[in-house]
Amino acid sequence: MKENKKTAVVTGGSRGIGRAICLELAKQGVNLAINYAGNQKAADETRAACERLGADVLLVRGDVSRFEDCNALFDAAIQRFGRVDILVNNAGITRDNLILRMSEQDFNRVIEVNLKGTWNCLKLASKIMVKQRYGRIINISSVVGVMGNAGQTNYAASKAGVIGLTRSLARELASRGITVNSVAPGYIETDMTAALGDEIREAVKKTIPLQRLGQAEDVAALTAFLAGDGAAYITGQVIHVDGGMYM
């Protein structure tokens, strides 16, 4: 590890928005402890790309809905880097369906990963950052957590919960030099949106004032800013990266 470099824990960092965030932080000289759920190939690709940018990278496989897996992630990060300056809670899943067809299992699983997984990491990061009297926490929510969306009662509830966690924890930790903010992406070009099909994608674009889907790099740029020194007086905020969907 290079001296005087900050360390970030990023969950769900192997691909999509998570990978873009890792790359942007690496560009800014941040070392990375990257959590991934199971796609080893994608995780290795992300690590290699970040290492080419000069970052020291630790990969830790785990399910963020399991507190013990999150504990292992933070223990590994501390053992490798000595501190955790930044936490990006990005890990998330969808199990979409109309409520009449949605199973209890699909509701529970989305809440477990997206909301409980975020809480697990917030609890562990808070303990470290309070001792440091410094920290930057960024929780990835969604425009759906603010606006709602048919067929996503589980996902919308989980992401609305992330916003509640963000604002509450920002109040708890502000006196210790720790900021807590949320980034709420709209429709972003990822594997998930690629699966929507051309007709649905075109319909979605009509709901976006900028008339296009966003890029993962758009979310990454804001996340990296909130993780940096320039955002020291920003906390408890939900900032949208959605092309104007929510105003």
Catalytic residue list: 155
One-letter amino acid for residue 50 of the chain: C
Going by C-alpha positions, the residue among 39, 152, 62, 154 that lies closest to residue 104 is: 154
With b for 16 or more beta-carbon neighbours within 10 A and e for fewer, the 149-187 pattern comes to: eeebbbbbbbbbbbbebbeebbeebeeeebbbbbbbbbb
Q: Are 10 and 73 in contact (CB under 8 A)?
A: no
**C-beta separation of 30 from 110 below 8 A:** no
